[in-house]
Amino acid sequence: MLDNEATLEIQHLIRDFKPADGDLLGALHAVQHHYGYVPKIAMKVVARQLRLSEAKVYGAATFYSEFRLTPPPATLIGWCSGPTCRMKGGGNVRKVLEAELGVGMGENTGDNKLGLHMAQCNGTCEYAAQVWVDGKVVGPLSALDTVKLVRDLKAKA
Amino acid sequence: MPTYEELRAAAAAVWSAVEKPQRPLFVVSMNTSSIAAGAQATFDALRKLADSGSGFDVMQTGDAGLAWAEPVVEVRRPGGQHVLYGHVTAGKAEAFAQAAASGIAKEHAIGVIAGEATDGATRVSVPMLADIDWAKPQVRWLMYNCGVIDPDNIDHYIARGGYSHYMAASRMDRDALINVVKGSTLRGHSGSFFSTGMKWSFLKDAKAEPKYLVCNADEGDPGAWVNRVVMESDPHMLLEGMLIGAYATGATHGWIYIRDEYPLAIERVNHALQACRDRGIFGDNALGTGVHFDAEVIRGAGAYVCGDETGLISSVNDERGMPRIKPPFPAQSGVLGKPTNVNNVETYASVTTLLRVTPDTFSTVGTEMNRGTKMFTVSGACEKSGCIEVPFGTTVADVLTLSGGIANGRAFKALQQGGPLSGLLPASIAADLLLEPEPFRPLGAGMGGGGLIFVDETSCVINLNAMFTWFLEDESCGRCTTCRGGNQRMLEILERVSRGEAHPDDPERIKSLAASMQYSNCFHGTLSPVIINNTMTHFRAEYDAHALEHRCPAQVCDGLIRYRITKQSPAVAEAAAICPTRAIVQNGGSWAIDDAACIRCNACREAAPNDIVVEDKFRDIVPLRVIERADVARAGG
């Protein structure tokens, strides 16, 4: 897509957001909801719409951990970093995820099919230790379950 | 727009049809916890049966707090028998529906809510819900509607008295109303415990206009989800509290800042806001009372420091969510530079509750300092996790008992309450503590906003500290060197202790870092060392085991354990195939673990539990000599 085409599309996405109205997070969410991430060009468009400097928009987009600046993988595995998950073997789950996928937290596999994301506790601790596969809670998981889950996801990817 | 009386009359008819249904009504808990347990599939299966003429109806409700029994379904039968059931998965839905529509589905029954425990003419041994251990100590005031009404149906809320408390408040003098809130002892339920009435009076007395209300629904403490339960189950209780606050303070607009991890809460609060606007409750001239107030949801994006009220205000103001220095206080200069009051979800809901139960009744529950109730979420090593509501002053031991005790017959080791800024207390002290803020303070800890995480003997406190310190370092906004750098250094120390590479004077360094972190601007910095301070006071023996004996007694810390094959068996061959790093290798016909490749994930031991062991006493114990300061400096420590 050409830059000016993308600009027009983003302008349309965020047309209802106003300056000095508490709208920056809303605008960035709207962009991420559409593209799966916040592309570089969006910083400029959001800044213009909300009458902020691009640096401020970029600063916010990188301050909050849920905004991505790169395209998401086809399947995103969120690893819950919460305390109940950790007490129930979540640390082992993480080690298995990273070793089996060959990537670190926050990274995607080379083919962009699978990726890891650091997730924060959402209070579904009954199913600890857990991961969220594309937002869906999967748990409780042991290390052994995790090996099988990842191999299964890799085979399907 | 209709008057309140007209709304109430219309709502009563809607509610009566689901409270006293003509044919069995299946009320399915639909909340983040139940959906994780498959409640959507259960709901769909029951709906399909209902649609194909099975003679019953289906309705959704929010969260009654029984995460341990999800998917939870309440069945209301004509004649007034209401029974609560658990573990109703989609696969069992049909058999369950058949049994529960005509009698009691015994294998799923948790308790009888109302009516007799009879199955036709036969008595069934199902307890009354109020008599089960989980429910007995609970007082459901804030959770009055949780698991009872459809959170997306404003009529259900109104029929049960909703918005009449606002109507009553709007007839009071504003100062008198604020005095009622002040006199109730109500303080912020987020963990700050600052008087809500005082905060409201600051905003009322502020000179500038317009005035704003903010609801902090950025419940970031890991292991706490009380605000999620309120928003997913009874969003109007929060909105009515905000509307009462708007009348009392003169605020005209509100923002409800909900964390990104709670998409269902965002959906339900937005739905509730729209229902309020449609019925003339929000917007111009609320219910004819002359008050103008509207509110909107802001979706957070993952930043723990936005839980600090000034961080949250920065975030609303299109900034990075960095807390700022006070003064000016929010009541002087908050959102868009205007006077602002910030309370959390449970606090606004508490105001509604205070007026609903009446201040006189409110004052009969709780303790001298803290009247009323508090919601908590229990999780961790206890048998049952979920959300509860108990009077202030209930003991931790009583909460552990209702949670079914520590699971698997293990020992209660510690309590981690109120998120990573509130502390870690040993079982011997924690068990007798009363749940209110005061008893925690002399212990150098806090009660926090509602998370109660029970820790058993299989957890290592050094590992827990490293985890929490990592979180606090990662979530530090970075403004204050004492917080940013302090947490970085603290994490380095904890990581080397967990590897068995502690410096002998690390305890002194921890103390000195913790002291310097007190100079941080916000609570994130000043309270970051609370857990490590608690640990050094109460778990020194476990610290010393790591630091001096190079041993992790709970066998958790990676650097202090290793795996060993004790018996060659087919299970070990299976474990070798499972190992993510291929660390189990054949060595002259027998299997052995390549320690350098092993990542200590435990998958092999799960595959071959009888043939692979974890060892924690394998490193030579080298008595540490006292290192001179000069040596430490040379070593770059």
Identity of the residue in B70, B223, B463 whose CB atom sits nearest the CB atom of A84: B223
At residue B422, does pLDDT exceed 70? Answer: yes
Residue from B601, B605, B612 whose CB has the most chain A CBs within 10 Å, to mutate: B601
- The DSSP code sequence of B387-431 is EEEEETT-BHHHHHHHTTSBGGGPPEEEEEESSTTT-EEEHHHHT
Positions in chain A short of pLDDT 50: none
| Cα nearest neighbour of B229 on chain A | A123
| Cα nearest neighbour of B600 on chain A | A92
Identity of the residue in B302, B467, B606 whose CB atom sits nearest the CB atom of A143: B606
At residue B634, does pLDDT exceed 90? Answer: no
Kindly state whether B302 is in contact with chain A, defined as any CB-CB distance less than 8 angstroms: yes
Residue B553's pLDDT is 95
**What would the pLDDT profile of B538-556 be if each residue is shown by its tens digit?**
999 999 999 999 999 999 9
Residue B508's pLDDT is 97
Residue B622's pLDDT is 47
Going by pLDDT thresholds of 50, 70 and 90, the confidence category of residue B120 is confident
Gap from B222 CA to chain A (nearest CA, Å): 5
Going by pLDDT thresholds of 50, 70 and 90, the confidence category of residue B122 is confident
Residue B617's pLDDT is 79
Residue B629's pLDDT is 43
Q: Where are the alpha helices (DSSP H) in B88-234?
A: 93-102, 154-159, 164-170, 174-183, 196-205, 226-233
Give percent of chain B with pLDDT exceeding 70: 97
> Is-contact B302 A65, C-beta < 8 A?
yes
Residue B618's pLDDT is 72
Give B-chain residues touching A137 at CB under 8 angstroms: 35-36
Is the ipTM above a cut-off of 0.90? yes
Which SS3 state, helix, strand or coil, does residue A119 take? Answer: strand
Residue B620's pLDDT is 56
Give B-chain residues touching A124 at CB under 8 angstroms: 32-33, 36, 67
**Average pLDDT for residues B180-193, to the nearest whole number?**
96
Give B-chain residues touching A68 at CB under 8 angstroms: none
Kindly state whether B261 is in contact with chain A, defined as any CB-CB distance less than 8 angstroms: yes
Residue A2's pLDDT is 62
Domains in chain B (CATH in brackets) are 4-130 (3.40.30.10), 163-362 (3.40.50.11540), 373-456 (3.10.20.600), 461-547 (1.20.1440.230), 562-615 (3.30.70.20)
CB contact under 8 A, B321 and A122: no
Identity of the residue in B298, B578, B601 whose CB atom sits nearest the CB atom of A26: B298
CB contact under 8 A, B303 and A65: yes
**Average pLDDT for residues B48-77, to the nearest whole number?**
97
- Alpha-carbon distance of A46 to A38, in angstroms, equals 10
CA distances, A89 to each of B416, B546, B550 (Å): 17, 20, 22
Residue from B297, B318, B494 whose CB has the most chain A CBs within 10 Å, to mutate: B318
**Average pLDDT for residues B326-346, to the nearest whole number?**
97
> Is-contact B221 B263, C-beta < 8 A?
no
Residue B625's pLDDT is 41
At residue B119, does pLDDT exceed 90? Answer: no
Residue A1's pLDDT is 56
Extents of the domains making up chain A: 3-63, 75-156
**Average pLDDT for residues B150-171, to the nearest whole number?**
98
Identity of the residue in B225, B468, B603 whose CB atom sits nearest the CB atom of A123: B225
Gap from A108 CA to chain B (nearest CA, Å): 18
What CATH code is assigned to A75-156? 3.40.30.10
At residue B453, does pLDDT exceed 90? Answer: yes
- Alpha-carbon distance of B633 to B433, in angstroms, equals 43
| Cα nearest neighbour of A99 on chain B | B580
Gap from A106 CA to chain B (nearest CA, Å): 14
**Average pLDDT for residues B303-317, to the nearest whole number?**
95
Q: What is the DSSP letter of B142?
A: T
- Alpha-carbon distance of A93 to B79, in angstroms, equals 50
Gap from B483 CA to chain A (nearest CA, Å): 16
Give A-chain residues touching B299 at CB under 8 angstroms: 25-26, 29
The first and second tokens of residue B629, run together, are: 């300061």
Kindly state whether B426 is in contact with chain A, defined as any CB-CB distance less than 8 angstroms: no
Q: Which of B221, B459, B307 is nearest to A120 (CA)?
A: B221
Report chain B's mean pLDDT, rounded to a whole number.
Answer: 95
Integer Rg of chain A from CA: 18
Residue B623's pLDDT is 44
Residue B626's pLDDT is 40
Q: Is the peptide bond before B426 cis (omega within 30 degrees of 0)?
A: no
| Cα nearest neighbour of B227 on chain A | A123
pTM of the model: 0.96
Gap from B130 CA to chain A (nearest CA, Å): 23
Kindly state whether B418 is in contact with chain A, defined as any CB-CB distance less than 8 angstroms: no
- Residue B145's φ and ψ, nearest 5 degrees, are -105, -5
Q: Count how many pairs of residues, chain A against chain B, have C-beta atoms within 8 Å.
A: 162
Gap from B319 CA to chain A (nearest CA, Å): 6
Residue from A18, A29, A120, A142 whose CB has the most chain B CBs within 10 Å, to mutate: A120
- Alpha-carbon distance of A52 to A56, in angstroms, equals 6
Give A-chain residues touching B300 at CB under 8 angstroms: 25, 64, 66
Residue B636's pLDDT is 44
The first and second tokens of residue B577, run together, are: 């195939």
Kindly state whether B223 is in contact with chain A, defined as any CB-CB distance less than 8 angstroms: yes
Give B-chain residues touching A65 at CB under 8 angstroms: 301-303
Distance of CA B445 to the CA centre of its chain: 18
CB contact under 8 A, B225 and A28: no
Going by pLDDT thresholds of 50, 70 and 90, the confidence category of residue B24 is very high
Going by pLDDT thresholds of 50, 70 and 90, the confidence category of residue B236 is very high
Give B-chain residues touching A119 at CB under 8 angstroms: 261
| Cα nearest neighbour of A85 on chain B | B380
